Amino acid sequence: MPDPSFKPVPYPMSPFPRTTLPTPYPHIPLPHIPASGIYIHIPFCRSRCHFCAFYLQIYREDRAQDYLTALFREIQLHVEQSTLGDRRLDAVYFGGGTPTTLQPSALGEILACIRASFGLQPDAEITVEAHPDTVTREGLSHLVNAGFNRISFGVQSLDDDELARMGRSALPDKTSTAVASARDAGFTNLNLDLIFGLSGQTLESWQSTLAQAIALNPTHLSCYALTVEDGTRLIVDIRRGDCAHPEEALQNAMEDEAVKQLTAAGFTRYEISNYSRPEYACRHNKLYWEGGEYLGLGPSAQSYVDGARFGNVEDLKAYQDLSADGCLPIAEREQLDPERRHREALVFGLRLTEGIPIDSIQAGKLDADCKAKMAQLLNEGWLEETGGRMKLTAAGRRFADSVAVELL
């Protein structure tokens, strides 16, 4: 599951014409050469979890075939337009949805196409998201042989009742079997996604989920606070009184518990929701927070290339029609001015535990208004300066989205 706390920075809707992208984009030099990556959105799941608001469809073989045809066409269009120029990719990320609803051979073909179409660093991180219920030992071996070197399991909870209440099919023993199979197949870099604040979840059951997750010995854990999104079954259930809205105090206690248990187990919290063993921070996710560039492929995928943010159409049929017509399936696009880019770099960089170097703030990149707001946030205790870096305080981390709104 992509980081649900990551929200593409909003920009005015400006339907992009059904023509091709204007190229080349005006290039505004950045102070460093950013890393770059590709995100592939695979919009299928076997069923929809009650809390999930991502764009997806229920998997069907015919839908998958049509999607693959459109995806290969989209890749070809980006190659023809040289969207990524001669960049060499540091990370490729297959997210969704549930990528492993597709056959392992299809995932391997997509990766081979990416490899043949764009430059990949020899040690590029290549991640596939997986639902524990959709993998087999044989299929996982196929993925390793195809070149995938990181797997991210959407586990969410290791409590039977909590899983059932959120409409998930995978029971805890399925997760431990899937993790063992992945390791057996050759995956050594392995993430587990967990959610806290679920309906009926207690501090004790969260402690147990964390302990079981740690016992599976992953290299990375993502712990997301549940947010209630419009358009989900969860929000309907809450309105009907069938379940309760997550309690803020309990979620805060659960977050503290995650920090405590994971730190004791040797993980470092390197971002608000992400913890890793040394050297295993997710390179793809760091692209978002460190000003890296990424090209998103597939319906609803978001991109940031050459100082422009652009996003694909969400609807699978529209995505397929545009690609078939030889048009990049882009719905909206905004070229950021340098001031906006510096503000965004600040806001995303603050999500990292290490924060950002104060030098980069003092180098005159930020406008006076933004600096004044930072001074105010420092005074109010949401930001702090330590070790030559600007960081969110513990309180600021809980309200990172509000801090971002202030600074953008």
Residues of this chain that interact with ligand SF4 (CB under 6 A) are 1, 45, 48-49, 52, 54, 56, 96-98, 131, 154
Q: Kindly tell me which of 77 and 179 has the beta carbon lying closer to ligand SF4.
A: 179
Q: Kindly tell me which of 75 and 163 has the beta carbon lying closer to ligand SF4.
A: 163
Q: How far is the CB of 1 from ligand SF4 (least distance, A)?
A: 5
Q: Kindly tell me which of 71 and 346 has the beta carbon lying closer to ligand SF4.
A: 71
Q: How far is the CB of 94 from ligand SF4 (least distance, A)?
A: 12
Please name the residue that has the structure tokens 């001074």. Answer: 375
Please name the residue that has the structure tokens 């652009």. Answer: 310
CB atoms within 10 A of CB 257: 17
Q: How far is the CB of 85 from ligand SF4 (least distance, A)?
A: 32
Q: How far is the CB of 296 from ligand SF4 (least distance, A)?
A: 16
User: What is the crossing angle of helices 172-185 and 137-146, to 10°?
Assistant: 40
Q: How far is the CB of 266 from ligand SF4 (least distance, A)?
A: 27
Residue nearest to ligand SF4 (CB): 52
Q: Kindly tell me which of 297 and 327 has the beta carbon lying closer to ligand SF4.
A: 297
Name, in order, each residue with C-beta under 8 angstroms of 10's C-beta and a sequence gap of 6 or more: none
What is the rounded distance in angstroms from the CA atom of residue 389 to the CA atom of residue 381? 15
Cα atoms in the Cβ-side hemisphere of radius 13 Å centred on 96? 28
Q: Kindly tell me which of 16 and 54 has the beta carbon lying closer to ligand SF4.
A: 54
The one-letter amino acid at 313: V
Q: Kindly tell me which of 223 and 305 has the beta carbon lying closer to ligand SF4.
A: 223
The one-letter amino acid at 320: Q
At residue 316, φ and ψ (nearest 5 deg) are -60, -40
Cα atoms in the Cβ-side hemisphere of radius 13 Å centred on 403? 26
Q: How far is the CB of 169 from ligand SF4 (least distance, A)?
A: 9
Q: What is the DSSP string of 128-166?
A: EEE-GGG--HHHHHHHHHHT--EEEEEEE-S-HHHHHHT
